[in-house]
Amino acid sequence: MIEMLQYDFMQRAFIAGLFIAILASISGTFIVLKRYSLMTETLAHSALVGVAVGLVAGYNPLWVAVIIAIGAAWLIEYLRSSFSIYSDAVLSIMLSGSLALAVIIVSLGGAFNNSLFSYLFGSILSVSNEDVYTIIGFGSIALFFLLIFSKELYFIAYDEEVAKTSGIKVKFLNFLLVTVVAIIIALSIRVVGSLLIGALMVIPTVAALQFRVGFLRTMLISLFFALFSVIFGMSLSYYFSLPSGATIVLSVIAIFILSLVTNKK
């Protein structure tokens, strides 16, 4: 553990990874309770379009991914509130559409290479100083909004209509939540990868829910699980040269199974 932290790249990966664990688990609590779990997958694929554009056009892929993911989140929220389309169908259409678009951009640009692979499954080797700054910068803003509105978001997740009739600005906060989630997902694809970030957002909360405790405790347990999975998963990635996203996700799934078994009714 100490030994791997002697390397600069591991220090960067750990800073980025731990920050993302905090962001993913806290936002994940609201996402899971609102039944938006599938949205994380869709936004991750939209973020991939941003990565593709970034790689081909030579911009920082993380920045472009943040912008495109926010656009996609707003489009999803708009489509589901303004048209009579089933929301899971909207998510499914956007997911495949984004992936198709990303593949075409990457193919046309000739960027189908290792660096794309690292965006799909995460890589501890690839986190640059600039990435760490981007993650901390955007991530702090996202965390700030999540924390100041956490009570309102919890109320909305519990009952959107009752929240609305109590005077809570539901529409604004729903947009805010998907925006924050889009940012977090886009930031996470460096370490966890776009195909795997959904798991880090959703599974720690689902595992925490098995303990059947109140809101604050559920969120703290979820946070703890996410932090543990990231530390454990990144260590496995380092020692066995495996993609970090995959080792992190398998770690969190192991925790989920343990939570299920130990809390069986």
Partner 1 sequence: MSFKLPIFDVKNLSFKIRDQIILENITFEIYEGEYIAIIGPNGGGKTTLIRLLLGLETPSSGEIKIFGQKLKNFKEWHKIGYVPQRATLVDENFPATVEDIVKMGRIAKRGLFAGASSEDRAKVHDAMVKMDILDLKNRMVGTLSGGQRQRVMIARALASSPKILILDEPNTGVDMLSQQRFYTLLAKLNKEENITILFITHDIGVIVDDIGRVFTINQKATICNDPKQILSCEEVSELYGINAHSLYNHKHEH
- Chain residues binding partner 1 by CB under 8 A are 33, 148, 151-152, 154-155, 158-159, 161-168, 208-209, 212-215, 217-218
The residue (of 36 and 121) whose beta carbon lies closer to partner 1 is: 36
In whole angstroms, give the CA distance from residue 179 to residue 66. Answer: 9
Q: At closest approach, how far in Å is the CB of 81 from partner 1? A: 14
- Listed residue (180, 151, 176) closest to 163, CA to CA: 151
By C-beta, is 94 or 180 nearer to partner 1? 180
CB of 145 to partner 1, least distance (A): 11
Residue 44 and residue 189 in contact, taking contact as beta carbons nearer than 8 Å = yes
Answer whether 109's CB lies under 8 Å from 56's CB: yes
DSSP-H helix ranges across 84-159: 87-109, 114-121, 129-148, 150-158
Q: 62 or 202, CB closer to partner 1?
A: 202
Least distance from C-beta 46 to partner 1, angstroms?
A: 29
Is residue 265 within 8 Å of residue 211, measured between CB atoms? no
The 10 Å Cβ neighbour count of residue 144 is: 11
Least separation in angstroms between residue 32's CB and partner 1 is 10
Nearer to partner 1, 38 or 67 (CB): 38
